[in-house]
Structure 1
Amino acid sequence: MGRSYFVDEAVEEYLSGLQAAPGSCVTGLLAGQSSPQRDFVVLAVQTPHMESEGQPKASKGVSPLDDIDVEWVTEHAKQVSRMLPGGLCILGLFLVTPPELSKDAQNALKRLIFAMDKYIIKGRLWELSEEDVTDRVTLHICFKTKKLVCKTFDVKDPKSSAKPADWKYQTGISSSWPMLACSVEVDLQIPVTGSSSDNTDKCMKDGLRRWAKPIEAAYCLINGRQALDDSELISGQKKSPKTTTRQTLPARIFVSDVSRSSALVQVCSGSMRVRGVVHCRAYIHNNKPKARHAAQAIKRDIINTVCSRVEMFLEDLLINEGSQKGAVVHHVLHVTKNYLNIFLQLFFQELC
């Protein structure tokens, strides 16, 4: 039996309004949360057009499906994944086509889903656990007949074939999900060797990767309780299915100080510093969530938040200083709490 996807009715309304112009197709992302038992889709986002006016048309003599810009779709997925709060991720892709393109839609979706996942995980700093779901969903929609074909691919296996999956609409799926809130102070100084932009980027990623390891292993308290076991995140409460009140649970992260035991002398030409307070949040499904899964979600959001903001700063530096070569690298990246909090809030407002 295939996986089941429980989809918010807001996604149904959004998808039903999409249409592909004659000789073209529409792609987009599906975002939500995976669990070992079931998956939840709470957001659909159309891939923006590359052209300023109208929908892009296929090149002469080329099928619209073959003409889909894979790089553009995957870059959009990366940008959206940066903005998602903890607990949410890109679950897959949708494709809207006219009837005459339905036959080849699955091949196009498979090509896109593997390219997208490969691009997103390239910059990921945390490791997958054995419980992490590696199935990604693809949804094909014929805009004329409104027929849906939902299938999944196991992205860890490049040779995997499509498996059928259930696609079920429900009302207010995420409205009562518990929200974890956590603030973490960051003061990270990373040595940089050389002055090229490529080398700076490598040094930053190596430094962030070393910083992320203790975060993954950190001790976590959620609502004052240790969050390392299989106990339910919210115990002793029986909620009505109609309950829409969201509960906020404070979380605290305690990182072991290993800086002294791992100290070393390193020759460098400069340094970059990430300093500030990150305000992170994670949303956990209410289908008997476990405490350790909640702790994992908030830790990953801390790592993703810092990594994404540093990447954006580096991209700005590359644009603004691309013509300057040979300069000594020494930048202080002040990551302010308001700056990060705005990015964390803006996107999820669409889900509520």
Structure 2
Amino acid sequence: MVKSVVGDETRLKFAEDRLYGSSIAVEVGIIVGQLNTHSERAFVYDLIPTPPTDAGASPCSLKSEGEDRGDRKKGSKGGKPSAGATPSILIDGEWIVEHSRQVSRMLLGGMSVIGVYLWSSEGSFKATSASALSQVIMEVAQATPSFENETNGRLLIHISHSPRRWACRHCEVASIDLRPIDFKMSKLLGLLQSFRCMYGFDIRIPVFQDEVSTSNNLKTVLCRGISRHAKELQNAIALVDGKLVNGDQQVTFEGLHDVELLLPFKSDVHVEVHSSDEIDGLVVLRGAICAFAYLGPKESASQAISNIKNDIINSLRSRLDIVLDEAEDKSDTTSIDFGKGNNEILIEKPLHQQNFRELRNPLVLSFPRRVLIPWSFDICICDYLLPSETFEDLKARCREMMSIETPVESSSLLELEKEAAASTISSFWDAVRENPRSTNEELKNRGISMEKKSSGKSKSFNFGLQVAFFILLVALLTSGAITLFNPAKLVH
């Protein structure tokens, strides 16, 4: 359980100056930091204000008790609070949850959305229902899950402008109890250590007959496969800078540390324990991820490895969500080009709702590539670019989601995933042995390939036969010449 919170003084003082220098009476946003499962401390790296809604409205406002009941007191005009009434804080929970989900995708390992902050007067904060605040925190926690068995607690930071003070509370997701905890500021971001891992993956997800018959869609099966891979990844052995380190050992030397993950041999036996009759198809996720993670002061190497593994799984999930969200946003009826040529199949449902019996042709979806963006000190965040997007789209999202005011230069963006184009979802119908659903084009391509191999082997065989025949002919001629010019002597 978290008992104390340390915030980065540089970023939090910047947020404080911005708030006190503004004329706004109330503001809501999310907390970016780290909740350590093995420590009683939490780290707060920054406060990110939630942007206005699509309609341009503020995600929070002040509202008096009378207005909440629809009972305005006499003399109040235009919905303003009556004299003497202390307004409470009204929060747009759905919009904050969506903001949390978007920001969570942009954070690397060792960083996550760990709570909500509020800027208001002390009176308005006390007038706000604790259950309403806890409900928002619970929804934010549900929207930003982690595959780790992390604590269910989240933070609530209140910055009061009258009187001027900071206060931090810890909220258990399952309760409405907001427990005050110690809060202080110190140097954090400049002390974080960086870890990088180039992780190649080949995830094979079987599609069982009972799943097809119960109309499981593509998204359900893919999420299940990624979750299973997350459990396998927990058993991976990690090398840091080429050395096997003790889990409790602290990484004291500076610089960028390279991490290599070694999965147990034949860990993916999920398909092998079932007969081919039980499996109706196979989904293959294959590609490479450039994973990054950051380690806080006085933390062990095992935490750095855990952060790297967490980043890999979060990156896979984020890319899948982006692909499916993009397919859903385009239209409810989507025309998709399967394979080469002009063959198109009209899908009457969004892609993520497709049933497997409707996908009888090879389907390849390109995953978006990860781009690293300088954030603060030597720390980076990330974003994902679809094939149709440009760096300008990425910069716009950074300004909106992360409230980055300084213009991001294209030259400072890092694309380290050289094999991003290989990160695709391959056809699953043709991966099963003796599967009748293989397409004619696939069979044709295989036939051409086999014909080329057969032709090559035939040419090689014919050449070898010619050489052997020539050698035999020379031997016969030589033997005949010897017999002709050196006749054998008769035995008397």
Residue 102, structure 1, aligned to residue 125, structure 2:
yes
Residue 313, structure 1, aligned to residue 323, structure 2:
yes
Equivalent of 1:80, from 90, 103, 106? 103
Query: Once the 2 structures are TM-superposed, how far is the Cα of residue 218 of structure 1 from its aligned partner?
Result: 0.8
Residue 207, structure 1, aligned to residue 225, structure 2:
yes
SS at match of 2:227: helix
Query: Once the 2 structures are TM-superposed, how far is the Cα of residue 334 of structure 1 from its aligned partner?
Result: 3.3
User: After TM superposition, where is structure 1 displaced by more than 6 Å over at least 4 residues in a row?
Assistant: 195-198
Query: Once the 2 structures are TM-superposed, how far is the Cα of residue 27 of structure 1 from its aligned partner?
Result: 1.0
Equivalences, count = 324
Query: Once the 2 structures are TM-superposed, how far is the Cα of residue 250 of structure 1 from its aligned partner?
Result: 0.5
Aligned to 1:243: none
Superposed CA offset, 1:291-316 (max 9, x none): 21111111111111111111111111
Contact preservation (8 Å) 1:177, 1:247: no
Alpha-carbon separation, structure 2, partners of 1:215 and 1:274: 15
Equivalent of 1:291, from 280, 297, 301? 301
Contact preservation (8 Å) 2:116, 2:156: yes
Alpha-carbon separation, structure 2, partners of 1:78 and 1:347: 20
Return closer, same or farther for 1:272/1:195 CA change in 2, 3 Å cut-off. Answer: farther
Alpha-carbon separation, structure 2, partners of 1:261 and 1:154: 36
Return closer, same or farther for 1:346/1:187 CA change in 2, 3 Å cut-off. Answer: same
Equivalent of 2:263, from 255, 259, 275? 255
SS at match of 2:109: coil
Contact preservation (8 Å) 1:228, 1:295: no
Q: Which amino acid aligns with 2:30?
A: L
Contact preservation (8 Å) 1:49, 1:55: yes
Equivalent of 1:346, from 373, 376, 380? 373
SS at match of 2:268: coil
Equivalent positions of 1:1-352 (< 5 A) are 2-18=3-19, 19=22, 21=24, 25-35=26-36, 36-53=39-56, 55=58, 61-62=67-68, 67-105=90-128, 107=130, 108-121=132-145, 124=146, 126-128=147-149, 132-155=150-173, 158-159=174-175, 161-171=177-187, 173-191=188-206, 199-227=217-245, 229-234=247-252, 247-256=255-264, 257-260=266-269, 262-263=271-272, 264=274, 265=276, 266-268=278-280, 272-287=283-298, 289-320=299-330, 322-323=332-333, 324-325=347-348, 327-328=358-359, 330-335=362-367, 339-340=369-370, 342=371, 345-346=372-373, 348-349=375-376, 352=379
Alpha-carbon separation, structure 2, partners of 1:55 and 1:43: 21
Contact preservation (8 Å) 1:96, 1:140: yes
Q: Which amino acid aligns with 2:114?
A: L
Q: Which amino acid aligns with 1:110?
A: S
Q: Which amino acid aligns with 1:114?
A: M
Gaps of 5+ in 2: 70-86, 334-346, 349-353, 380-492
Query: Is the helix fraction higher in 1 or 2?
Result: 2
Aligned to 1:242: none
SS at match of 1:152: strand
Query: Once the 2 structures are TM-superposed, how far is the Cα of residue 318 of structure 1 from its aligned partner?
Result: 2.3
Return closer, same or farther for 1:112/1:227 CA change in 2, 3 Å cut-off. Answer: farther
Alpha-carbon separation, structure 1, partners of 2:332 and 2:216: 11
Larger Rg: 2
Query: Once the 2 structures are TM-superposed, how far is the Cα of residue 278 of structure 1 from its aligned partner?
Result: 0.5
Contact preservation (8 Å) 1:73, 1:116: yes
Q: Which amino acid aligns with 2:315?
A: T
Which structure has more relative contact order (CA 8 Å, sep 6+)? It is: 1
Return closer, same or farther for 1:316/1:194 CA change in 2, 3 Å cut-off. Answer: farther
SS at match of 2:224: helix
Root mean square deviation, CA, Å: 3.1
Contact preservation (8 Å) 1:140, 1:150: yes
Alpha-carbon separation, structure 1, partners of 2:11 and 2:223: 37
Q: Which amino acid aligns with 1:204?
A: L
Alpha-carbon separation, structure 2, partners of 1:114 and 1:134: 9
Query: Once the 2 structures are TM-superposed, how far is the Cα of residue 231 of structure 1 from its aligned partner?
Result: 1.7
Gaps of 5+ in 1: 238-245
SS at match of 2:190: coil
Return closer, same or farther for 1:137/1:304 CA change in 2, 3 Å cut-off. Answer: same
Superposed CA offset, 1:160-215 (max 9, x none): 622212222224x1113111100011233445565999722111111111222211
Query: Once the 2 structures are TM-superposed, how far is the Cα of residue 51 of structure 1 from its aligned partner?
Result: 4.7
Contact preservation (8 Å) 2:195, 2:256: yes
Alpha-carbon separation, structure 2, partners of 1:226 and 1:349: 30
Alpha-carbon separation, structure 2, partners of 1:177 and 1:103: 36
Contact preservation (8 Å) 1:82, 1:308: yes
Return closer, same or farther for 1:275/1:8 CA change in 2, 3 Å cut-off. Answer: farther
Q: Which amino acid aligns with 1:307?
A: R
SS at match of 1:147: strand
Percent identity over the alignment? Answer: 23
Contact preservation (8 Å) 1:276, 1:335: no
Query: Once the 2 structures are TM-superposed, how far is the Cα of residue 105 of structure 1 from its aligned partner?
Result: 4.0
Return closer, same or farther for 1:99/1:294 CA change in 2, 3 Å cut-off. Answer: closer
SS at match of 1:43: strand
Alpha-carbon separation, structure 1, partners of 2:224 and 2:270: 18
Q: What TM-score do you get using the length of structure 1 for normalisation?
A: 0.80
Alpha-carbon separation, structure 1, partners of 2:133 and 2:13: 19
Alpha-carbon separation, structure 1, partners of 2:213 and 2:110: 37
